[in-house]
Amino acid sequence: MARASGIVSHILPAHPPSVGPSRHSATEGSEPTLALISTIPQGELAQRGLAGPLPDLLPGALWGLLREQGLRTVQCSCEDLLQPGGARYRGVILCGNSPLAVVSPLMRLRRHPDTALLPLIVYLHRDEADFAVSPPVEWLRASWARYADAVVESDSSPAEAAAALQRLRRIAAAVAALPAPLSASLRSQRLLLLLRTLLTRGIVSLQPERDPHQPLCHAYPPLEAIGGELLQADIELLCRLGLLERTFFDRVCVCPGCGDARLLFREVCAACLSPDVRRGEVIHHYRCGHVAQEPAFWRRGELVCPACCEPLRHIGIDYERPAALLHCHSCEQLAAEGTTQARCLGCGQSYLADRIGERVVWSYLLTQEGRAAAACGQVPAVPSIDEATEGESR
């Protein structure tokens, strides 16, 4: 896609915002102001004949509602928001042409402590050509959408847009009511952010979600963005502090080598452990009892027993293909049973089933103490990192 031409830049001036009826300084007036971040290439909008300041040129019920409700928007970039003091807005509307376009800024905003709590609506400008629904995008959507507080598309109904704005207002009010954090250490601030995310989003029970990209095949959005690789240890610590309470969700099999739950279980040859085995590919000649692979019986287009040289005519009368037998293509062994082995997609090693470990996947409840800590901005004294990680559940 071509970069914005000079004419387009004039239509959509680069930040900082200076002109246009919908552009105001964030500090001006007392009405709630939202940051408007657009990842839609400006040249693309111009090519479609859309001209004027954002958001006036974007289709959809959302923009009319914003004006009706007196919610002003200021166009800025993700970088503007991430600068010190940049998160002074009440919320964010992140615009893009596709989920792929918004994922990166969405995750950056969610990861940063200054912007992690900001209510955020993703607006997808639906275009038939570049918004073709395919399985990867659908999968992607399922995982990224949990990091947005609402997703509105250009063809969403007014009711859907209104619900998204209502949610944004509710979260903005909850965030605004929070006092500045009292805890000083980086870790306690991160713990507080986790609790405050749950509190301001009204998440009482945090359920793990299926996620094939996670070592344990489960993720805890929207907390994953804040905690990152430390999330599991942070959550365990919050449990030990009584701020979260865990309940059983599921049990997963894990690799004894690396702890990854992405395991490929299959039957392998008991003799040589090759996974190159098939059932039902051998022939059993009833009369002489010979059992061998089917190719050994073919002779000039006919099935003939290689042991006694008798032709085999009728399946079920002369011979059978015993599905009960496992044939190994690697060592040629025939056996009634193989053995179960798992190949770990994390480390690539293979292990017999009896060596595979187990781990519990938990759901978490925000306790009364957790709500109180989130509301007042102080997490009780945090034990040292060593203590925190030793208690990780296995």
Residues contributing to the site for Zn ion (CB under 5 A) = 255, 257-258, 260, 269, 271-272, 274, 285, 288, 290, 305, 307-308, 328, 330-331, 333, 344, 346-347
Given the complex with Zn ion, which of 9 and 293 has the nearer CB atom? Answer: 293
144: phi then psi, degrees, rounded to nearest 5: -75, -30
Given the complex with Zn ion, which of 45 and 261 has the nearer CB atom? Answer: 261
| 8 Å CB contact between 109 and 81 | yes
Given the complex with Zn ion, which of 57 and 307 has the nearer CB atom? Answer: 307
Given the complex with Zn ion, which of 142 and 258 has the nearer CB atom? Answer: 258
> From the CB of 276, what's the least distance to Zn ion, in Å?
8
> From the CB of 156, what's the least distance to Zn ion, in Å?
43
| 8 Å CB contact between 286 and 300 | no
| 8 Å CB contact between 221 and 209 | yes
Determine how β-strand 72-75 pairs with β-strand 33-38: parallel
> From the CB of 261, what's the least distance to Zn ion, in Å?
9
Residue with tokens 């923009």: 63
Given the complex with Zn ion, which of 35 and 269 has the nearer CB atom? Answer: 269
Q: How far apart are the first and last CA of the chain?
A: 49
Distance CA 350, CA 122 (A): 42
Q: Spell out the SS3 assignment of 78-94.
A: HHHHHCCCCCCCCEEEE
> From the CB of 307, what's the least distance to Zn ion, in Å?
4
Given the complex with Zn ion, which of 9 and 333 has the nearer CB atom? Answer: 333
Q: Across the strands, what pairs with 278?
A: 327
Question: Which one, of 97, 142, 151, 147, lies nearest residue 122 by Cα?
Answer: 151
Given the complex with Zn ion, which of 233 and 271 has the nearer CB atom? Answer: 271
Given the complex with Zn ion, which of 347 and 353 has the nearer CB atom? Answer: 347
CA 278 centroid distance within chain:
36
Distance CA 295, CA 255 (A): 38
Residue 376 is given by DSSP the state H
> From the CB of 233, what's the least distance to Zn ion, in Å?
20
> From the CB of 246, what's the least distance to Zn ion, in Å?
25
Given the complex with Zn ion, which of 177 and 258 has the nearer CB atom? Answer: 258
> From the CB of 338, what's the least distance to Zn ion, in Å?
9
Determine how β-strand 150-153 pairs with β-strand 282-285: unpaired
Residue with tokens 């997963």: 252
> From the CB of 343, what's the least distance to Zn ion, in Å?
9
Distance CA 122, CA 14 (A): 21
Q: Where are the alpha helices (DSSP H) in 257-317?
A: none
Given the complex with Zn ion, which of 330 and 378 has the nearer CB atom? Answer: 330
> From the CB of 55, what's the least distance to Zn ion, in Å?
48
Structure tokens at 368: 């009364």
Determine how β-strand 91-96 pairs with β-strand 33-38: parallel
Given the complex with Zn ion, which of 238 and 254 has the nearer CB atom? Answer: 254
> From the CB of 334, what's the least distance to Zn ion, in Å?
10
> From the CB of 288, what's the least distance to Zn ion, in Å?
3
Rounded-to-5 percentages of helix, strand, coil across the chain: 30, 25, 45
| 8 Å CB contact between 370 and 196 | no
Residue 158 is given by DSSP the state H
| 8 Å CB contact between 281 and 327 | yes
